């Protein structure tokens, strides 16, 4: 195609990206490697490097061309990669963390994901001892591949509204699974569309109360999990009583076979029902209640806690790309400088760009520390439950994880897009590395509890806490939230007018005060004025956001205080402080009216927040490249020409376009009067056959 490729000798105009990033790194005294070890632990970094080498040496994990693939090929590629990662796990003896690291670095949505993430854990948590003994070895060995079939075409968040029925037939001692309507089709369930041969099907358990056969009457015991084979282990075909397939292309996750599944009077044996908590007696048909229903949402809580750390990684990827590229990219001369001699300005030095990117850089740290704190809280809660059956902290964990899931996935999803737009044209290009990240990450505000809907759980918890406090104002506070509500109750009519520019403690207190104020307001509207629940949903959403923001601020502040001996260097400590302030104050600026209304911050101080944010950005700017370097995200994972560690942005963009682009193999016939598309092929109908 190319006769004489004169581009090979061309370089970018000086100074090139490599030179610029070297200068950026030289101007910050933050000890990047030590800071990385502090943030991520030496063990994590060693593991990442070791597994990175394995993946980089296997051509199956090359990412350059995958954006050109048709959707069926995207699935096949992901399936091949998923098999390879499991093969490598066996061969190299990886543990679950190492397997997860490989999946993260591969950065594809693996079609076996629901088997490992939901199917196995559900059987492990909800199966009886006998079921676990039978199934777990098969599942761990991937002898059967399972999916988790809960959501239906017509029913998502409201699990009680599911339509799939599991009717107990006492004569044959079988459950009859049946989808009464089209809307009862299972839908969205990952791994199920093409890959799985088993599912956990969540169905309404119907037990006969009188009569038999067609005239029988049933009582509904609500949704229960059933383990059901959906495809033959040899032919991989479903039986006649099951329709199953993939739901088609989506906004993202196109490597995943999200599925649909309909049952037509499909019979499964008695032991298909997972019986760890509730069971049906096969002889009498009597139902035994679950001992402790809370444990069911324990696992969802775990998933949500992980989402905070995932949000940090996703946002850190986008911010890494944005900070490096925007340091390199130059545009326009300073209008107040002599136009003949001035050089163009680095885009990251424009306030309109800093204002969008640097608060997000600060947000990555806020997410990190709350992700860590949530992980620790989850482990403590789990230990309490397992050791002593103590469910006391589960309600708090559930509320906190719901609120943080909502806030943090929004921060990341919106932040990735903000980074992409701040990068202008190249941010829209495939070389950004943010196309797939954005498309996939945008599922997060919806999955595992819609980000608006789940905020009701935070509000319910906080209203309950205010109610308890109102009933017993002198009782001992056992959590930080209770303390803060109690403090507010003691002096809620006075204006605090905290000193948010001179005291970091006051910043923290302002966030707690605002959340307490909104908690009391919600309590009053719901419990005193008896307003309807649904009319208060916007109040609840705002309350949850305020409460969750206060948690991010508290955890950030506590971490930099508690870790003051382990944070390497005074400069690092000082910059982390600035990042804390930038995160808190730019959040405060966006929510200024609430901070004013609750009396926490004066109008004059609120007017002064913007200049203070600019000061902080000036202080952080010289360290921006070092700070993103500290997240230690390998080029292999970034998969971004713009975000390359070495700064060779333009070289890589040109390489991708000129040498890695299958469209350039087509020679077009541009004459509209012929249907021929490829010159000399004579064929105009080929594309039509693919429609």
Residues 150 and 163: their CA atoms lie apart, in Å, by 10
DSSP annotation of 256: S
Rank residues 87 and 503 by Cβ distance to a copy of itself and give the closer one. 87
- Which own/partner pairs from 247-251 qualify as long-range (CB within 8 Å, at least 24 positions apart)? 247/187, 247/188, 247/193, 249/71, 251/439, 251/442, 251/443
Q: b vs e for 528-548, b when ≥16 Cβ sit within 10 Å of the residue's Cβ?
A: eeeeeeeebeebbbbbbbbbb
Cis peptide before 72 (omega within 30 of 0): no
For residue 372, what are the contacts with CB-CB under 8 A and spacing of at least 6? Answer: 309, 555, 559
For residue 463, what are the contacts with CB-CB under 8 A and spacing of at least 6? Answer: 519, 522, 523, 526, 527
Say if residue 151 carries a ligand binding annotation. Answer: yes
SS3 of residue 285 by DSSP: coil
Say if residue 190 carries a ligand binding annotation. Answer: yes
Rank residues 339 and 388 by Cβ distance to a copy of itself and give the closer one. 339
448 in catalytic set = yes
Give least dist CB 282 to a copy of itself, A. 28
Q: b vs e for 54-63, b when ≥16 Cβ sit within 10 Å of the residue's Cβ?
A: bbeeeeebee
Residues 36 and 690: their CA atoms lie apart, in Å, by 49
Give least dist CB 451 to a copy of itself, A. 8
Rank residues 214 and 688 by Cβ distance to a copy of itself and give the closer one. 688
Give least dist CB 679 to a copy of itself, A. 5
User: What is the number of alpha carbons within 13 Å of residue 221 lying toward its C-beta?
Assistant: 20
Give least dist CB 653 to a copy of itself, A. 6
Residues 325 and 647: their CA atoms lie apart, in Å, by 8
Sign of the alpha-carbon torsion through 224, 230, 232, 233: negative
Give least dist CB 629 to a copy of itself, A. 24
Rank residues 62 and 380 by Cβ distance to a copy of itself and give the closer one. 62
Candidates 412, 400, 358; CA nearest to 376 is 400
Both structure tokens of 544: 């949850």
Catalytic residue among 310, 448, 594, 652: 448
Give least dist CB 617 to a copy of itself, A. 11
Residues 393 and 377: their CA atoms lie apart, in Å, by 9
Name the β-bridge partners of 382.
none
Pairing of the two strands 174-178 and 266-269: antiparallel
Give least dist CB 326 to a copy of itself, A. 13
Rank residues 316 and 653 by Cβ distance to a copy of itself and give the closer one. 653
Q: b vs e for 241-254, b when ≥16 Cβ sit within 10 Å of the residue's Cβ?
A: ebebebbeeeebbb
DSSP annotation of 477: P
Rank residues 388 and 532 by Cβ distance to a copy of itself and give the closer one. 532
Both structure tokens of 83: 């098999």
Rank residues 80 and 296 by Cβ distance to a copy of itself and give the closer one. 80
Residues 403 and 578: their CA atoms lie apart, in Å, by 25
Rank residues 392 and 533 by Cβ distance to a copy of itself and give the closer one. 533
Cβ(444)–Cβ(346) under 8 Å? no
Give least dist CB 303 to a copy of itself, A. 16
Give the residue numbers annotated as catalytic, written as ranges.
448
- Residues belonging to the binding site for FAD are 151, 190
Which residues sit in the known binding site? 151, 190
């Amino acid at each position: 195609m190319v006769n004489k490729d004169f581009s090979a000798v061309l370089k970018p105009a000086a100074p090139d990206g490599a030179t610029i990033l070297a200068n950026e790194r030289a101007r910050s005294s933050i000890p990047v490697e030590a800071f990385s070890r502090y943030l991520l632990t030496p063990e994590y970094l060693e593991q990442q490097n070791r597994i990175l080498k394995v993946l980089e040496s296997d051509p199956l994990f090359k990412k350059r061309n995958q954006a050109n693939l048709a959707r069926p090929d995207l699935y096949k590629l992901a399936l091949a990669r998923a098999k390879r990662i499991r093969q490598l796990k066996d061969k190299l003896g990886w543990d679950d963390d190492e397997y997860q690291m490989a999946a993260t670095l591969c950065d594809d949505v693996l079609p076996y994901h629901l088997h490992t993430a939901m199917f196995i854990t559900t059987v492990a948590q909800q199966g009886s001892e006998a079921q676990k003994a039978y199934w777990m070895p098969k599942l761990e060995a991937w002898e059967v591949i399972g999916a988790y079939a809960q959501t239906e075409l017509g029913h998502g968040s409201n699990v009680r509204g599911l339509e799939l029925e599991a009717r107990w037939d006492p004569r044959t001692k079988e459950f009859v699974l049946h989808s009464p309507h089209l809307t009862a089709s299972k839908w969205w369930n990952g791994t199920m569309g093409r890959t799985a041969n088993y599912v956990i099907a969540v169905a309404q358990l119907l037990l006969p109360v009188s009569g038999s056969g067609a005239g029988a009457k049933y009582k509904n015991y609500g949704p229960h999990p059933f383990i059901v084979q959906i495809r033959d282990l040899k032919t991989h075909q479903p039986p006649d009583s099951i329709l199953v397939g993939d739901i088609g292309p989506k906004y993202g996750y196109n490597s995943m076979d999200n599925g649909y599944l309909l049952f037509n009077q499909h019979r499964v044996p008695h032991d298909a029902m997972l019986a760890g908590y509730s069971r049906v007696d096969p002889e009498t048909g009597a139902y035994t209640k679950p001992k402790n229903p809370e444990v069911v949402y324990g696992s969802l809580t775990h998933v949500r806690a992980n989402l905070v750390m995932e949000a940090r990684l996703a946002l850190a990827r986008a911010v890494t790309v944005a900070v490096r590229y925007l340091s390199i990219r130059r545009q326009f001369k300073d209008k107040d400088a002599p136009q003949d001699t001035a050089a163009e300005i680095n885009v990251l030095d424009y306030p309109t760009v800093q204002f969008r990117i640097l608060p997000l850089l600060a947000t990555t740290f806020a997410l990190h520390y709350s992700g860590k704190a949530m992980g620790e809280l989850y482990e403590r809660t789990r230990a309490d439950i397992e050791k002593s059956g103590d469910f006391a902290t589960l309600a708090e964990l559930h509320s906190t994880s719901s609120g943080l899931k909502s806030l943090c996935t929004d921060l990341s999803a919106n932040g990735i897009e903000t980074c992409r737009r701040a990068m202008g044209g190249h941010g829209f290009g495939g070389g950004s590395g943010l196309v797939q990240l954005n498309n996939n990450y945008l599922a997060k505000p919806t999955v595992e509890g819609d980000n608006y809907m789940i905020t009701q759980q935070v509000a319910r918890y906080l209203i309950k806490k205010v109610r308890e406090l109102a009933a017993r104002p002198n009782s001992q506070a056992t959590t930080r939230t209770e303390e803060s509500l109690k403090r507010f109750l003691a002096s809620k009519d006075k204006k605090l007018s905290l000193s948010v520019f001179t005291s970091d403690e006051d910043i923290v207190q302002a966030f707690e005060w605002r959340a307490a104020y909104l908690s009391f307001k919600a309590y009053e509207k719901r419990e005193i004025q008896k307003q309807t629940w649904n009319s208060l949903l916007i109040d609840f959403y705002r309350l949850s956001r305020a409460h969750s923001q206060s948690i991010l601020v508290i955890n950030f502040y506590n971490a930099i205080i508690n870790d003051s001996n382990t944070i390497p260097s005074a400069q690092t400590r000082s910059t982390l402080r600035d990042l804390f302030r930038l995160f808190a104050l730019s959040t405060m600026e966006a929510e200024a009216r609430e901070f004013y209304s609750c009396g926490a911050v004066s109008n004059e101080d609120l007017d002064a927040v913007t200049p203070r944010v600019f000061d902080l950005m000036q202080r952080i700017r010289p360290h921006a490249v070092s700070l993103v370097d500290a997240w230690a995200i390998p080029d292999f994972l970034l998969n971004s020409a713009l975000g390359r560690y070495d700064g060779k942005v333009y070289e890589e963009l040109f390489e991708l376009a000129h040498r890695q682009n299958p469209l350039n193999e087509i020679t077009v016939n541009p004459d509209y009067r012929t249907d021929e598309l490829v010159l000399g092929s004579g064929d105009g109908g080929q594309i039509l056959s693919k429609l």
